[in-house]
Amino acid sequence: MTLMLATAAAGLFGVGTYLLLQRKLSRIIIGLSLLTHGANILLITSSRRGDAPIIGAGGEERFADPLPQALALTAIVINFGVAMLLLALAYRSWILTHDDEVQDDVGDRGIAKSDVVHDEVADQQQVIAREETS
Amino acid sequence: MRWLGRLVLLVILWLLAWGEGTIGNVVSGVLVGAALLVAFPLTTRVDRFRLDLVAVAQLVGHVLVQLVSSNVQMTREILRRRPAVCPGVLAHRLRVPSEHVVTLMTSVIALSPGTMTIDVSDESDTIYVHFLFLYDEAAARRSLERLERLAARAINVQPEADSSSGAPPSSAPAPLDSPEAT
Amino acid sequence: MSWLVPLPIVLPLVGAAVSVLVGRSRSAQRVVGISVLATLVVVAVALLVEVDTNGTVVTEAGGWAGPMGITLVADRFAAILLVVAELTLFAVLVYAIGEPGAERNHVGFQSAYLVLAAGVAASFLTGDLFNLFVAFEMMLTASYVLLTLGGRHDQVRSGMTYVVISLIASTLFVTALAFVYSTTGTVNMADLAGRLEELPPGIRSALAVLLLVVFGIKAAIFPLFFWLPDSYPTAPSPITAVFAGLLTKVGVYAIVRTQLLLFPEETRPATLLLVLAACTMVVGVLGAIAQDDIRRILSFTIVSQIGYMIMGLGFFTVAAVAAVVFSIVHHIVVKTALFMIGGLVDHAAGSSRLSRIGGMVRTTPFLATLFLVSALSLAGIPPLSGFVSKFALIDAGFADRQYAVVATSIVVSLLTLFAMTRIWMGAFWSPPEEATVAPPPPNRSGGPVLMVVPTTVLVLCSLGVAAAAGPIYALSERAAEDLMDRHAYVAEVLGP
Amino acid sequence: MTAATMAMLTAAAALFTYRLCAGPSLADRVTALNGLVLVGMGGIATHAAHTGVGAYLPTLVAISLVGPIGNGMIARFIEERQT
Amino acid sequence: MTGELLALIGAALVLLSAVGVVRLSDVLARLHALAKASTLGILLLLAGAAINLHDLNDITSVVLAGVLHLLASPPASNMISRAAYLAADHDDMTDERADAEP
Amino acid sequence: MILLLAAFAVVGLALVAFGARLGRRAFLVGALPMAATAAWVATRLPDVTDGTTRHESVGWVGGLGLAVDLHLDGFATTMTLIVTVVGVAVLLYASRYFAPDARDLGRLAGLLVLFAGSMVGLVLADHVIVLYACWELTSITSFLLIGNRHDQARARAAALHALLVTGAGGLALLGGLVLLGQAAGTYRLEGILAAAPSGTAVTVALVLVLVGACTKSAQYPFHAWLPGAMAAPTPVSAYLHSATMVKAGVFLVARLAPVFATQAPWRPVVLAAGCATLVFGGLRALRQHDLKLLLAFGTVSQLGLMMVLFGAGTPATTTAGWVLLIAHAAFKCTLFMVVGVIDHQSGTRDIRKLPALRDGWRPLELVALLALVSMAGIPLGAGFVAKELSYEALDEATFLGHEVVLVAAIVGSMLTVAYATRFYTGAFAGPRRRAAGEPAPLPGETHRDPSPTTELSDPTLPIEPVDPVVVVKPRAHALTNTTAEVAVVDPDPAPPAPSFVAPAAALALVGVVLGVVPGLGDKLATVSLEDFRGSVPAVHLAVWHGFGAPLLYSALTLAGGFAIWAADRRVRPRLAWASKVPSGAEVYLAALRALGIVSTRVTGFVQNGSLPVYAGVIAATAAALPVAALLAGWDWPGWPRLGPKREAPVVIVLLTAALGAALVRKRFSAAIFLGVVGYAMAGLFVLSGAPDLALTQAAVETLSTVVFVLVLRNLPERFERQSTPGRRIGRLLIAAGVAAAVFVLALTSAGVRLGNPVSEEMVDRAVPDGHGRNVVNVILVDFRGFDTAAEITVLTVASIGAVALARAGRRRRDGEPVPAANTEEVRRLVFVDVSVRVVFHAVLMLSLWLLFAGHNQPGGGFVGGLLAGSAIALRYVAGGIDEVRGRARFRPWTVLGTGLLLSSSTVAAPLLFGGAVLESAVASLDLPLVGEVDVNSALAFDVGVYLVVIGMVLMAFEAFGEEPKEVAPR
Ligand code: NA
Ligand code: NA
């Protein structure tokens, strides 16, 4: 890890997070991609960097650690697949709404003003009120 | 036997990629290339051309000269205190319309700084070339004609009897048919 | 018997491939799916028996010994969860096939479902932290697909929330892995158990908390759970059922596994866990009370129940961890069953909103019974399995003198009971709303046979968990002892 | 001399980056992207020649192919937007 | 030495092209400028590298890259120039720095 | 005992499930297990009275100390007999009470049996958790029984009220019992009482247990649920809510009092609650017009007295309580049945509307009178014995405040006499007089019922139809559902059949017998007293206790009681304050309302449905918590070096482009910036010694850009500005926090590397064991091939999902993609077309080279597949989706499936040959001309990867490749 790469990773995370907190799915996708890039930088800098770990090309003692590379590669591939799925969501959203905006959940709307125990309270209020008049 | 030529090219590519001319590589190249050609056969219409090696060499020479001269010109322009360009578009109608000639021409045009293809007519008989320095329109036209000749010879193209591109264009596309200067 | 260990991962993968290839035939796909999962139920049971009698089974993928290669480790904890998971997956698959209109299921449904099964199994069995990430991704990607198959508007909307939040978790996971590798140079969990111990306390705690956050998102603990109630209810009911039952518990599994195995005692974030657990329980159950839709109520109770498990982990005693293991088993079965019942209600009444339905205790008395049993179990009413789970947690908590959080959990269980009675009264007792009188259900059992039978089987399983609570708790206790003994795990995997 | 080569490539990268940010049109940004890819190719080739390590040359081969593909794709859709 | 010189010239051309891309006033002119880098510049850089390399495999790779570049890049640049020309008086050309978020 | 409990469960469940077809006979079937239990207990009586306690135990959860421990001692015997004998009587009564064609009788009978089983289990429990379990089961069955008429909102609400109050108490009880058990080291009741633990935890535990007991036994201030529970059918009320279930709390207090009465919180709590309940219950009973409610409040009052007697815990008060327990069960159940009969025959139970009853009703009147005598504590009723004993015990007691308790008991008993008289005159004497020409309504009426003549035909209703004055909730079904069944009060009701009266008469006789020859109970009373207390002097129950203070108090009670009744007209209005004393009901309702408000507010606040908020909270948490943990024990490793200069330009380009992607307002521009970031990443990988990563990154980036652009071309060109400055600042703060956290964690973790990475072994073994020189590729396809197998599965599923989503609603029945109907010809550019044809095979050739060469140099299946995917992209560029579909001979699904099958089979196959999963095999072939060739099974795996990636790219074009004009919006 070098200061420069730590900065790069932090910067990618920062910008990625900024984009992630927006409402347009395309921006969110870009944000996630940036986050992934940041994470990959962290991965490849998590161990020794050096020459390409290909045996026979010489300099085995200066090899870069191959394992984080393999891990990062796997992560890249997985993110590629998932990004495609996210894009499909954006595409579908466009077909349905002509936008890729992430809408708020309708089920959560108005919960704060709803009266959930109305029935229970009202009915029992009635019973007690009857008792009073008896 | 078109596919044989293609196979040879593919095997050469294979050997270039492996970087070793071993028998194993040749054999595997032939196998892989053949498999590819079987899996994705060539289509009949467009892949009909023959390379004329001498003409190819002439074309390459022309391209190299063009490359150097246009690079020099471009460099001069870029480094001038106030870059002064004289852009314009020329429509060039091919003598012998052919998709391959068009492709080759546009590629060469693309490779030389100062020229670029803006469009090709649907019938593949007219190309529209954007010149950055269109000081001399006649010279520009001449160079395009020369390029067409060299290209046509290099791939030894025959006018295609069955192709729609053989017919002369009914009308030139409207917006791009004349040189324009800014 | 070590060849049994990879089967729950590999078989569904082969099945998924075959399923993709035979995509033209729904019935062929179903045969593949059913036979793979049926086999896996047997395999999982065999594995559990093997593990419980002869101890942890370790196998090395590719024959490469850990810590270099990926090891698959079936200990009691993993094997128990595997059995429950495969059983649930199997039951839900039957339910999904029995759902009317299942023949219109997308060609990708069965493949994605099998991949989900593989991902869940791999999450339980892997002994490698990076492989756990990959397993999670398998499971999650499949879940994204299953959640959005059909592409309805609400599915897309909730799919966005679900996928984006999950991807944040995945990215955090990779980040955590980078830090872990950076500090220790290994990703094998057994190896990590030894190496993390030597780290300076600051970075070690940071890693522990980071992993807690990563899995906490999946497990849906406060304040990381908000995505769950927005996304689960929109999926088709079988999908919701399997998500509700399994996926969060995979997160809990990962929390339990990583916190107990990877980190030494002095690193364990006990107080943090207890605070989060209390908040999770309370906010979750309040959310459940505030809802009108059965699936949303049930979704919030998932969150609330996760709080119980996290609380148990926060005690960090053998008894508490045993209680957590038992709770997970109980909760997977009951929650899946409840969501399946919710689907049946939806199917029979034409809606899952309490304000629109009613009177089902008469129209579908069998369904009412199934619901009542499951709901009371969830609320921890004795002698159902939920009670054993609740009692075990309370017992362990009081023994650990954690009175405040245990008291909270007791109050929450009352509120859970209230939330369940709201469903009972709204859907089953109250007269149906005239405006939305649904067509009478096809039969008294409340739905298509292939939907009702697996639901009933799961409810019976939950009763079985209660009846066999003794042996199951004893097993959980043995599993908890394994879990608390980090060095035994390390010795099993890496050799003494 | 390799250092000078690399320095010039770096300077070119800086200028292309400027154009990338400045735009103003999409075509300008694509041009800049193209330029950056070319700088990268040159950098890889020079680096390989300097160190004698050929490990990155397959990357070079791949970029020489896929770079233009990406550009072409973007160009196609810039154009599609106009019609 | 030859190789390094060729590479240096190539790099210089790439730099010049970059200067052009920055300095020239309209998009088509900038595209012309880029062609410098994408042809002679990169070819010289590759040639320089090929001369300096010793392993046959590596040399063939560099050659391969050059050939592929010559094959693939012209159609792509043609498409870009076509798009740029067609877009020239479209609002894609408007400066969007003006409305970028601060 | 366990067998009997099982019988209850089996019969109960069977009746619930199948009892419907039995009709009223279901109740008779239900009486069987009760009768059997009663008979069995009766046979055990000699043993019990000899002091033998029978124990039974079945293990349940050994690890938690849970077992079904039962014992049959004196008190358990007493309670079991009460529960079963009363139960048989109630079920016999019920079999006549309900109409033969009434609905749900099987369910009702089954629930009653289940309740009885729970209650028997409760009283037999020798394990506090078993006791708790049965306790909760009685709450649940009570809930279901109160809500029997669930069409009515009031019944539901009353059921819920009862459930929540008793459930809350139950949970308090559970907490208390666990604390108690842990303090005692056992959950066995006997063990706990033997250990007699003490301490703070036990004090808390006792308070909790008492709270539980008070809720169940309807003690002030938790009593309000009990009158509401009268919504249950009268037999249910008679059984659960007077004779048995409500005694559970008293029973528990009785069980624990011998040991814990002397501990600090016990007596103050119990006696205060009991006295308050005793007096207020009586006052409220006096004001009721509904006979059933009158009895209900009477029950509350009597439960208060029992609570006092048992809670005081002295042998004498306990004995008094024991007698009262039995007497109350007998007389209160009898009276409920009487009310039920009246209600059933006449259609009302309102004192003001009851018609005069003819002579045929005399037997019922006699039965009621016998029970009332007992209730009022008139000599020769069992209640008299109990009252005498109570007065005597309280008078002689020595605990603090016993005088106050005695006064409360006397006052409460006066009220009992008064409301007993009110019952008699209201039900029998009053109507007769009224019929004789005194129709004037009772004074002090505040009743505003506009339709006094109507009454619901359903005899189970405690109160009149909905009063419009108090209707709070105008929900449709609450009103409409019941109007069909309105009936008029029968002015001359037919007398009940003898069989209908018989069960009540039998119970009344029990009271008479106990009242006349109380000595019959001596032995059982003695052994009951000895439970947990050790031996006590034998108890002698008698009617005549000689002259003394108790007799005086009794006389005072009767005189005062009749006086109160006589002064009814003047006293009653003045007692109105009693019903205005805040009771638990208001608290319950307020709590429920508060719960509703809190739940909706909290949920509305945290669960606001907005993804950016969720993501922001998660990001902030993920940044803050680990850093906080880090700082708690921070060990700053020092600043690392800046890094090699050559990295600087790449990093600068990277960050600039990232910023550009964030700031730019056009989607396409953002995609281009993102592409630059990706290529810069590839550059970083080159500089980090990661050629495979660089190669992959470059290829992935290109294809990502292609797919991104394919989707973006549909979307609006620009992002509209929509966020407020506040939100933007919030985003910036979170983003900065995340960046800072990553920075700090990255530097800290980089500074503390321990030991050598495991990858050293990988480098060493790549060639000899992995048969490849490219270590990264060997890791991917061999050492960690398991990851890769999973990874391509992810790709497969993701592409399936993408196609499913993008083409949703455009599928044929079999789900195969269909070409869109209005496919528009893509304009072909000849130079692109020809170039692509020339290059296509070359690209595929190269992709295969990367695939095959990958094991020894950068490359591999994934990159190869991506390159082949680029060839597909080329075709797309040339001719659109039709070009891709037309020339690819293989369906995307097939390619995908084949690839996945190949890979997963390579993973699985070694298992068939006894190897480890994924174990690779290498075969050396000696081919002519070519020489020796190593064939590695890992290659097959890599080919699978290659195919999956190609399939995925094909799927991507399948998903997004159609021209936008083809896609119909909405
Ligand atoms: Na050019
Ligand atoms: Na309802």
Q: Give residue B64's pLDDT.
A: 87
Q: What is chain F's mean pLDDT, rounded?
A: 86
**Other Cβ atoms within 10 Å of F605 Cβ, number:** 11
- The nearest CA of chain F is from the CA of B159 a distance in Å of 16
| Distance between CA atoms of residues C483 and C477, nearest Å | 10
Handedness of CA F354, F357, F363, F369 (dihedral sign): positive
D43 touches chain F (CB under 8 A): yes
F809 touches chain B (CB under 8 A): no
Mean pLDDT of C30-41: 96
Q: Give residue A122's pLDDT.
A: 58
Closest Cα in chain C to F811? C106
Contact F666, A25 (CB under 8 A): no
Q: What are phi and psi of F5, to 5 degrees?
A: -60, -40
Ligand nearest to the CA of B63: 1
Residue F591 token pair: 């709590």
Residue C290 token pair: 């505030």
Q: Which residues contact B146 (CB under 8 A, 6 or more apart)?
A: B62
Q: Could you give the dihedral angle defined by the CA atoms of residues F449, F452, F458 and F460, in that order, rounded to the nearest 10 degrees? A: 60
**Percent of chain B scoring above 70 in pLDDT:** 81
| Distance between CA atoms of residues F217 and F305, nearest Å | 11
Contact F15, F113 (CB under 8 A): yes
Mutate which of F837, F841, F883 to disrupt the B interface (most B C-beta within 10 Å)?
A: F841
Q: Give residue C118's pLDDT.
A: 97
Question: In terms of pLDDT, which residue wins out, A24 or F740?
Answer: F740
Contact C82, C441 (CB under 8 A): no
Residue F140 token pair: 């649940």
Q: Give residue B160's pLDDT.
A: 47
Is the predicted pLDDT of residue F471 greater than 60, yes or no? Answer: no
- Contact residues, chain F to chain E, C-beta under 8 Å: 663-666, 669, 721, 829, 831-832, 835-836, 838-839, 842, 846, 877
**Other Cβ atoms within 10 Å of F448 Cβ, number:** 11
| Amino acid sitting at position B87 | P
Mutate which of E30, E39, E56, E58 to disrupt the B interface (most B C-beta within 10 Å)?
A: E39
Ligand nearest to the CA of B113: 1
Q: What are phi and psi of B58, to 5 degrees?
A: -60, -45
Look-up of token digits 């010109």 = B73
Ligand nearest to the CA of B106: 1
Contact C26, C128 (CB under 8 A): no
F707 touches chain D (CB under 8 A): no
Chains D and E touch (3+ CB pairs under 8 A): yes
* D neighbours by CB contacts (3+ pairs under 8 Å): A, E, F
Is the predicted pLDDT of residue F629 greater than 50, yes or no? Answer: yes
Q: Give residue B49's pLDDT.
A: 66
In chain E, what's the furthest Cα-to-Cα distance? 53
ipTM of the shown complex: 0.93
Residue C253 token pair: 């599994």
| Distance between CA atoms of residues F12 and F35, nearest Å | 14
Q: Which residues contact A113 (CB under 8 A, 6 or more apart)?
A: F600, F604
With contacts defined as CB-CB under 8 Å, which chain E residues touch B87? Answer: 28-29
In Å, how far are C144, C160, C214, C255, F535 from C225, measured between CA atoms?
17, 15, 12, 15, 60
With contacts defined as CB-CB under 8 Å, which chain F residues touch A129? Answer: 467, 470
Instruction: Give residue-wise pLDDT tens across range F538-577.
Output: 888 888 878 888 899 999 999 999 999 888 777 767 767 7
Chains A and B touch (3+ CB pairs under 8 A): no
Closest Cα in chain A to D57? A52
Mutate which of A78, A94, A104 to disrupt the C interface (most C C-beta within 10 Å)?
A: A78
With contacts defined as CB-CB under 8 Å, which chain A residues touch D54? Answer: 57
Q: Do E96 and F835 touch (CB under 8 A)?
A: no
Instruction: Give residue-wise pLDDT tens across range F98-157.
Output: 988 888 899 999 999 999 999 999 999 999 999 999 999 999 999 999 998 888 888 898
Mean pLDDT of B107-130: 87
Please report which confidence band the pLDDT of residue B45 belongs to, taking 50, 70 and 90 as the band edges.
low
Is the predicted pLDDT of residue F494 greater than 70, yes or no? Answer: yes
How many CA atoms lie within 13 Å of F11's alpha carbon, on the beta-carbon side? 25
Ligand nearest to the CA of E35: 1
Residue C371 token pair: 């619901």
Residues in chain E with pLDDT < 70?
A: 88-102
Chains E and B touch (3+ CB pairs under 8 A): yes
E strand or H helix at F932, and its extent? strand F931-936
Strand partners, A51: A63
Lowest mean pLDDT among B57-71, F684-698, F896-910: B57-71
Closest Cα in chain F to A86? F802
Contact B46, B1 (CB under 8 A): no
Q: Give residue B35's pLDDT.
A: 92
Distance C299 CA to ligand 2 centre (A): 19
* Strands of B88-93's sheet in order across: B88-93, B126-131, B115-120
Instruction: Give residue-wise pLDDT tens across range C339-348.
Output: 999 999 998 8
Cross-chain CB nearest to B10 (options F834, F845, F889): F845
With contacts defined as CB-CB under 8 Å, which chain B residues touch F827? Answer: 122
Question: In terms of pLDDT, which residue wins out, F938 or C45?
Answer: C45
Strand partners, F68: F58
B124 touches chain F (CB under 8 A): yes
Mean pLDDT of C10-31: 93
| Distance between CA atoms of residues E21 and F866, nearest Å | 31
B102 touches chain F (CB under 8 A): yes
Cross-chain CB nearest to F691 (options D29, D40, D56): D56
Is the predicted pLDDT of residue F453 greater than 50, yes or no? Answer: no
Q: Do F640 and A3 touch (CB under 8 A)?
A: yes
Q: Do E100 and F831 touch (CB under 8 A)?
A: no
Please state at what angle helix F105-124 crosses helix F25-49, rounded to 10 degrees. 10
How long is chain B? 182
Q: Give residue F152's pLDDT.
A: 85
**Percent of chain E scoring above 70 in pLDDT:** 85
Alpha helices in C185-293 (DSSP H): 189-197, 201-219, 227-231, 237-242, 248-257, 270-290
Please report which confidence band the pLDDT of residue B154 belongs to, taking 50, 70 and 90 as the band edges.
confident
Q: Do F838 and E71 touch (CB under 8 A)?
A: yes
**Other Cβ atoms within 10 Å of F500 Cβ, number:** 20
Task: Name which of F81, B32, D42 is nearest B6 in CA terms.
Answer: B32
List own/partner pairs for F509-512 with CB under 8 A and 24 or more apart: F509/F370, F510/F85, F510/F330, F510/F382, F511/F327, F511/F330, F511/F331, F511/F334, F511/F370, F511/F371, F511/F374, F511/F381, F511/F382, F511/F383, F512/F370, F512/F374, F512/F380, F512/F381, F512/F382
Write the Ramachandran bin of B48: left for phi over 0, alpha for psi from -120 to 50, otherwise beta: beta
Residue F599 token pair: 């739940």
Q: Do A85 and C163 touch (CB under 8 A)?
A: yes
Q: What are phi and psi of F817, to 5 degrees?
A: -65, 140
Residue E34 token pair: 């880029």
- The nearest CA of chain D is from the CA of A52 a distance in Å of 7
Q: Give residue B82's pLDDT.
A: 79
Please report which confidence band the pLDDT of residue C202 belongs to, taking 50, 70 and 90 as the band edges.
very high
| Amino acid sitting at position F570 | R
Task: Name which of C305, C306, C312 is nearest C270 in CA terms.
Answer: C312
Q: Do E75 and F835 touch (CB under 8 A)?
A: yes
B154 touches chain F (CB under 8 A): no
Instruction: Give residue-wise pLDDT tens across range F858-880.
Output: 999 999 999 999 888 888 888 88
Lowest mean pLDDT among B44-48, B70-74, C74-78, F516-520: B44-48
Please report which confidence band the pLDDT of residue C444 belongs to, taking 50, 70 and 90 as the band edges.
low
| Amino acid sitting at position F781 | V
Look-up of token digits 């069944």 = F485
B13 touches chain F (CB under 8 A): yes
Lowest mean pLDDT among C32-41, C46-55, F769-778: F769-778
| Amino acid sitting at position F79 | M
In Å, how far are C76, C127, F278 from F273, measured between CA atoms?
51, 59, 8
D74 touches chain F (CB under 8 A): yes
Is the predicted pLDDT of residue F485 greater than 60, yes or no? Answer: no
Please report which confidence band the pLDDT of residue F640 belongs to, taking 50, 70 and 90 as the band edges.
confident
Instruction: Give residue-wise pLDDT tens across range F184-208.
Output: 999 999 999 999 999 999 999 999 9
Lowest mean pLDDT among B77-81, C67-71, F21-25, F509-513: B77-81
| Amino acid sitting at position D13 | A
Q: Give residue C440's pLDDT.
A: 58
Q: What are phi and psi of F689, to 5 degrees?
A: 75, 35
With contacts defined as CB-CB under 8 Å, which chain B residues touch E36? Answer: 71, 74-75, 113
* C neighbours by CB contacts (3+ pairs under 8 Å): A, F
Q: Do F646 and D6 touch (CB under 8 A)?
A: yes
Task: Name which of A20, A69, C130 is nearest F681 in CA terms.
Answer: A69
| Amino acid sitting at position B147 | L
Mean pLDDT of C153-181: 94
F370 touches chain D (CB under 8 A): no
pTM for the full predicted model: 0.92
Q: Give residue F473's pLDDT.
A: 30
